[in-house]
Amino acid sequence: MSNSLAFLIDAPLQSWGASSRFQRRETESWPTKSALVGVLAAALGIDKHAPDETEKLAPLTALTFTVLRWPKKYPSLRLTDYHTIGGGWPKDRNEHSWASMNVPVKATRTKTGGPIFIEGPAVQTTRTYLTDARFIALFQGERTLLETAAAALLDPVWGVWFGRKNCIPAEPLSPVIADTPRGALVALFQKLGYEPPNIPELEGMTESLGPGNFYSADQPVAFGQHHGAIPAAYLSRSVRRLAPGEMP
């Protein structure tokens, strides 16, 4: 018996970064544990800037995480977006002269939040997304915590999205809890109004207590800045692929 929380991940755009930094933001092919623990934390109202964030986050990160890919009719593709941050025109530009147009300047803010425009190029980033992907998230652990998380997903304190703020769910997450991962999976499909698929049709990844197929640096310790700690701290975890028909 393993208490299990299952919920749906379905959106036109998703982005699951595990190692991308700075101007190039890639996405993994699968949802990361850090992103979905972040979804639970946001739903529960855990403030990433609060000094007790790491303590409140610890029970969530201790949950065993599994993700299953639920195929759609058409395969998911990748979309790359050219994105700029900041920008604008110099204050002294001549509004009536096209000759005054030049490379947009970078925007910064004062401590009070007001914008200050300084000379220099806008920040340019390249961001990659999964399109029309669909997954099922499974968390295993203590039932009271799972029930609290499920209730929060139905009435979240802060917004829920899949990797970035523009990755809004296409369908309700529809969380369910059962005594086993297989039971939670069947209950989720029933709640969504679908016939449960054959388990072998679902590809999966799960945490491994021993050696796995690879290591992923997506075990979150903290999402925010804390006194005496580095911001956005993560550890590695062992991950293994599920064999066809296998459940965690």
Distance from C-alpha of 126 to C-alpha of 124, rounded to nearest angstrom:
7
Q: Exposed, middle or buried by CB within 10 Å (0-12, 13-18, 19+), for 163?
A: buried
The CATH architecture annotation of domain 4-20+29-78+131-241 reads 2-Layer Sandwich (3.30)
Residue 101 or 202, more confident: 202
Spans of all domains in the chain: 4-20+29-78+131-241, 87-121
Sequence-ordered list of residues with C-beta below 8 angstroms from that of 44, at least 6 positions apart, any chain: 56, 148, 149, 152, 157
Residue 51: the pLDDT is: 86
Residue 101: the pLDDT is: 47
136 confidence band (pLDDT: 50, 70, 90): very high
pLDDT in tens, 70-83: 988 888 889 998 87
pTM: 0.82
Question: What value does the mean pLDDT take over residues 134-157?
Answer: 97
Residue 188 or 217, more confident: 188
Residue 44 or 219, more confident: 44
Does 20 score more than 70 pLDDT?
A: no
Sequence-ordered list of residues with C-beta below 8 angstroms from that of 242, at least 6 positions apart, any chain: 66, 68, 203, 204, 205, 206, 248
Distance from C-alpha of 54 to C-alpha of 19, rounded to nearest angstrom:
21
Instruction: Copy the structure tokens of residue 49.
Output: 């800037």
Residue 152: the pLDDT is: 97
Question: What value does the mean pLDDT take over residues 168-190?
Answer: 95
Residue 4: the pLDDT is: 97
Q: What is the rounded average pLDDT for all residues in the chain?
A: 83
Ranking 67-76, 161-170, 182-191 by mean pLDDT, the lowest is 67-76
Distance from C-alpha of 139 to C-alpha of 154, rounded to nearest angstrom:
16
Question: What value does the mean pLDDT take over residues 214-223?
Answer: 87
Residue with tokens 């997903």: 153
Q: Which residues pair with 202 in a beta bridge?
A: none
- Nearest CA-CA partner of 62 in 116, 151, 140, 149: 140
198 confidence band (pLDDT: 50, 70, 90): confident
pLDDT in tens, 35-88: 999 999 999 999 988 888 999 999 999 999 999 999 888 888 899 988 776 655
99 confidence band (pLDDT: 50, 70, 90): very low
